[in-house]
Amino acid sequence: MRAARESDTTGHVICAHDRPEPYIDAAETLTAFVGMKLHATILSLCAHVPSIMLEYNAKCMDFMLSIGRQEDVVRTDRFKADAAWSQVKAWSDRRKEVSGRIRAAMDTLKAFHLKEAASISEKLLST
Q: Provide the number of structural domains found in the chain.
A: 1
Supply the pLDDT for residue 62: 97
**Residue 63, number of CB atoms within 10 A of its CB:** 20
Return d(Cα 71, Cα 89) in angstroms, integer: 16
Q: What is the pLDDT of residues 48-68, one digit of tens each?
A: 999 999 999 999 999 999 999
- pTM over 0.85? The answer is no
What lies within 8 Å, CB to CB, of 68 at 6+ separation is: 105
Amino acid (one-letter) located at 86: S
Domain that holds residue 40: 2-126
Q: Does the pLDDT at position 114 exceed 80?
A: yes
Supply the pLDDT for residue 100: 96
Q: What is the pLDDT of residues 17-58, one digit of tens each?
A: 778 888 898 889 989 999 988 999 999 999 999 999 999 999
